[in-house]
A and B are shown apart, each in its own frame.
Chain A
Amino acid sequence: MERLSSNSTRSSRPIILGLAGVLFFLLVWQLIPALGILNPAYFPNATDTLAQLAKDLGTGALWKDIGYTLIAWGLGLAMATIGAIIFGTVIGLVPFLRRATHTTIEFLRPIPSVALIPVAILVYGLRLEAALLIIVYASFWQVFVQVLYGVADVDSVARDTARSFGLSRSQRFRSLVFPTALPYLITGVRLAAAVALILTITAQMFIGVPGIGRSIIFAQQGANWVQVYALIVVTGILGLLVNIGFRAIERRVLHWHESVRGEELL
């Protein structure tokens, strides 16, 4: 009985800590304009911003923006992940290809996706496809590099064992390469999900496709700062939900893996 209660306090502790962190953050935010550290005319306090957010949540416009943002994010992340799995697996498993592409990959990977916005517009115009190019480019590398190292990380003893047991190529892939690469892949996708969300908002801001990013620019042009920060809070909450979601998937898919056992949620 005693053990049970100590267990439940332990599991609720991270949630309490998480809430305390949020409250502390809101308090600091409230104080920054109140103490005049930033001019309240340009940096609204937390209560005004959250009140505006509550008002927005009652209108269809914000939900539409959230919908547009999630669609662009989801499409971009899916395309990046599928592409990265295919290219990562093929290149990662063939040492020749890995050596041949290494320099090119290290050249392309650090190029900031935002720098490609003019190219994206030149190719696709002011459309969702242009935004997707930016999103996919940024998030692809996150998954690709993880898959690349994941498929190459097979334990040599396990590989020799599999070989001596006469496992076929497809058997080896299924029971050796796939389980080895899976934790890498999941980590890559979780990182890519956050990157894709950031680039979705950025693309909406600078390409003008509908969504939260475009509404932020509109609110800025209307000098409506409370609205600007309300929308920024929405992007933060989306990011948090995305992260929680992917951590939950990670725990479920990799419940057997040592990296997951003993990890806490928030």
Chain B
Amino acid sequence: MKKALAAAFTAAAVATLAACTSTPEPTTSAPPNTSPTDTAAPQETFDVRVAALPIAETGALWAAIDEGIFEKHGINIEIVPAQGGAQAIPALLSGDIQFAIGQPFGPFRADAQDLGVVIIGDYADSLATGKDVNAVVALNSSGIDGAADLAGKNVSVNSLGAAGDVTIMKAVEDAGGDPKSVKFVEVAFPEVAAQLDAGNIDAGWAPDPFMSMVAGGEGHIVVHPYQATIPGLSVLTNITLQDTIDNNPQLVAQYSAAMKEALEWASANEDAVRAALVTNLEIPEEAAAGITLPTFTFDLSVENLQTLAGLAVGYGVLEAEPNFDRMIQQQ
């Protein structure tokens, strides 16, 4: 008994120690498997962990992986579902993941703290015309018809102090309302419809499938805040660390090439993206067919992000504009 206990403790201690010592330095992240692939490709093979949100946009990635695009570029990719940038950036810093797909506000805030977080390319853009990828929705009975009606109302966003509330404030201001009078609360996207029904919020910001659920039921779209303020604004971007760019340029180059091809392929193969949503996110097929997909592209519009940062500073969401020269390094 004593022996077993001692053995168990030793095992636990060893495991803890091993876990501590194996905490990778950022510089040694993603040790390249230097043996070249059999297919005579000139590139190295990398094991890569990428954090992505479990949302509809990630369908492009799942589908492109199944298509073998990352494999072709020597990227042995594993998607790690992260809950928002709040989790993805610490995970990047820990060295556990090499890339993250996240909203640009994560890098904005990280840049203010000199964390060395860099946007290396776009991932998905909102749509400049038509039905956009996200919207502020309200019930038909709310009397909220346009952005100006949001003034003085309780409006939900998934996380405060990011692109959602900044563009909504701008949309309200452009429509002639007082942006400072909007009362923002945090509600996760899946909860928006239920919170509207319960009367806890007057309007809520949500992407598909939740946007269409409300708009197709007893509610309607009030405004597409991205489209109304910064048409085509980047929804999600590819993020990594400056350390990774400096110490592992080959990895970043191959990943970027793979991602570029994956996103081009995804925008030409929407059916495959929707099919990936059904299998990976267990979205029912009918719902997946109705989801508004973004523009998948690796080419970043820096001006759009600068406009967003400028608005954020204007509304006091950010203290200062990030240093775009070091934060954005399009690969």
Contacts and interface: CB of A to CB of B under 8 A. Distances in A.
Contacts of B193: 41-42
Given A126-B82, A221-B54, A82 B8 contact: yes
A112 interface: no
Nearest to A227: B282
A126 B197 contact: no
A18 to B, nearest CB: 32
Interface string B87-104: 100110111110000000
A123 B83 contact: no
B5 interface: yes
Contact of B19 (A41, A121, A129, A221): A129
Interface residues of B, number: 38
Interface string B46-80: 00010100110000000000000000000000001
A123 B82 CA distance: 15
A238 interface: no
B272 to A, nearest CB: 18
Interface string B173-196: 000000000000000111001100
Given A126-B80, A222-B281, A223-B209, A86 B9 contact: yes
B328 to A, nearest CB: 24
Contact of B90 (A39, A118, A221, A224): A118
B12 interface: yes
Interface of A: 39, 41-42, 78-79, 82-83, 86, 117-118, 121-127, 129, 205-208, 214, 217-224, 227
Interface of B: 5, 8-9, 12, 16, 19, 23, 49, 51, 54-55, 80-83, 86-87, 90-91, 93-97, 188-190, 193-194, 197, 209-210, 213, 281-284, 287
28 contacts: A41-B194, A82-B8, A82-B9, A82-B12, A86-B9, A121-B90, A122-B94, A123-B23, A125-B91, A125-B94, A125-B96, A125-B97, A126-B82, A126-B87, A126-B97, A129-B19, A206-B83, A206-B87, A208-B82, A217-B81, A220-B188, A221-B190, A222-B282, A222-B283, A223-B190, A223-B283, A224-B282, A227-B282
